[in-house]
Homo-oligomer: A and B are copies of this chain.
Amino acid sequence: MTTILSVSTHDLRARTSAFLHGSDANHPDPDYSAAYVVLHTDGAHEGHGMTFTIGKGNELCCAAIEALSELVVGRRLSDLTDHMGAFWRSITNHSQLRWLGPDKGVIHLATAALVNAVWDLWAKEEGKPVWQLVADMSPAQFVDCIDFRYLRDEVDEVRALEMLQRRQAGKPERLAELRRDGYPAYITSAGWLGYPENEVRARCQAALGLGWRSFKTKVGIDVTSDQRRCEVMREELGDGIQLMADANQVWDVQQAIDWTNELSAFGLRWIEEPTHPDDVLGHATIRRGVQPVGVATGEHAANRLMFKQLLQAEAIDYAQIDACRLGGLNEVLAVLLLAAARGVPVCPHAGGIGLCEYVQHISIIDYLCVSGSLADRTTEYADHLHEHFLHPAQVRDGAYVVPEAPGYSIEMHPASIAALRFPDGAEWR
């Protein structure tokens, strides 16, 4: 009978811009940040959650979490979790706050932090990692976590139930496979745009030595330097290794087509975020123009409606959901269903701070419960800032190790919370 008594927020920022970690064509100087929330209860556990930003404005997400917190303070945990889809709608459809979205921007980023903290708390109470909490649900319980409004022209409750029932078979075998081999991943932290050539070479070699077989580079500054960067990585990686490129939204539609085709000689598996994330139809045009290079996007796809349309318009080859951009795990589950219904692989966006910790659960849920497939799937990994987490994401031979600690893996060390606090923590003094 746990009750949520209060909520505290923390504006946490890492000074990553000083090292050009995370630098790309549109974000040259990110300070990886977390708008972090703790649900304090009368029970044995706290719920921890966060949303990810890249510095300035993180305080707005904290303020938005505070604005939403009155919707959970004083509530019994079971009142929320017994009707998880209805709880989610109560957060995202608040009669006044929804004007600030709906389902997008600061208020939706804050929704992710708060909703994921409830999932973390619930999973800790159940003594399970979040992926297992979901995997142990019946198909009907899974469906009950989702708000299907606006999705029913694509996937409704009946269709979802059928899809999930079909995946009940073989779940133990798939889990055993994941525990043995891990979930396939790729690494981004070799190819940040701000790194000099020798650092890129050194990082590629180091990552190959650790067993990585799938890599991503940033592009989008100028064609010549992008070609050179791809050439350098191909030289280091050889031909058998997967290479993807990420433009981080810098191009117009036609420009994206022309530029990507200039890079296709390097055997790119996908071009990521080739244009503005809201331009569904633009992505569809680009996809038709750059084959055989695939199109990937989603880290800035604000909500399930954007994914619904990216899928309906056949605009993407890979759905890169983000654990914080979407309004928490409930909406992530909806997008897993939408993508599986269209046969499009989900390859979550990660990196930053905390995203790897989150998305490992999502990919495992997708394999166990929804898509049942690892074909053409790979989940992003970047090797930054994991030391701040009690149970950091672990990788082995280019794959995520299945997390076994109860919760959503997002709880930070108290010392890290103190050190990263902006602007008075040790990181900023």
Residues of A within 8 A of B (CB): 26-31, 53-57, 59-61, 63-64, 67, 93-109, 149-153, 249, 252-254, 275-282, 285, 300, 302-303, 305-306, 308-309, 312-313
CB pair A254 B153 closer than 8 Å: yes
A330 to B58, CA, bound (A): 26
Contact among B55, B102, B276, B278 with A276 in the assembled complex (CB-CB below 8 Å): B102
CB pair A95 B26 closer than 8 Å: yes
- Chain B residues positioned under 8 Å from A26 (CB to CB): 93, 95, 98
Contact among B67, B152, B300, B303 with A60 in the assembled complex (CB-CB below 8 Å): B67
- Chain B residues positioned under 8 Å from A305 (CB to CB): 276, 278-279, 282
With A94-B56, A252-B149 known as contacts, the answer to whether A312 contacts B281 (CB < 8 A) is yes
Q: List 19 A-B residue pairs with CB atoms under 8 Å apart, sorted by A's residue number.
A: A30-B96, A53-B100, A56-B67, A57-B96, A60-B60, A60-B107, A100-B105, A102-B276, A102-B300, A103-B278, A105-B106, A106-B107, A150-B252, A150-B276, A150-B282, A152-B253, A153-B282, A279-B309, A280-B309
Question: A352's closest neighbor in chain B, by CB?
Answer: B99
With A26-B98, A102-B277, A279-B305 known as contacts, the answer to whether A59 contacts B53 (CB < 8 A) is no
The distance from the CB of A95 to the nearest CB of chain B, in whole angstroms, is: 5
- Chain B residues positioned under 8 Å from A61 (CB to CB): 100
A275 to B63, CA, bound (A): 29
- Chain B residues positioned under 8 Å from A64 (CB to CB): 57, 60, 106
The distance from the CB of A119 to the nearest CB of chain B, in whole angstroms, is: 23
* Known A106-B106, A152-B253, A281-B312; 10 more pairs at CB < 8 Å: A28-B95, A29-B96, A30-B96, A54-B96, A56-B94, A102-B276, A149-B252, A150-B252, A279-B305, A280-B281
- Chain B residues positioned under 8 Å from A31 (CB to CB): 96
Question: A148's closest neighbor in chain B, by CB?
Answer: B252
- Chain B residues positioned under 8 Å from A149 (CB to CB): 252
CB pair A252 B152 closer than 8 Å: yes
CB pair A308 B280 closer than 8 Å: no
Contact among B104, B252, B253 with A105 in the assembled complex (CB-CB below 8 Å): B104
CB pair B107 A104 closer than 8 Å: no
CB pair B278 A57 closer than 8 Å: no
Q: Which of A26, A279, A285 has the most CB of B within 10 A?
A: A279
Q: Which 6 A-B pairs have the closest CB atoms?
A: A105-B105, A106-B106, A55-B96, A56-B96, A153-B253, A278-B305
- Chain B residues positioned under 8 Å from A95 (CB to CB): 26-30, 54
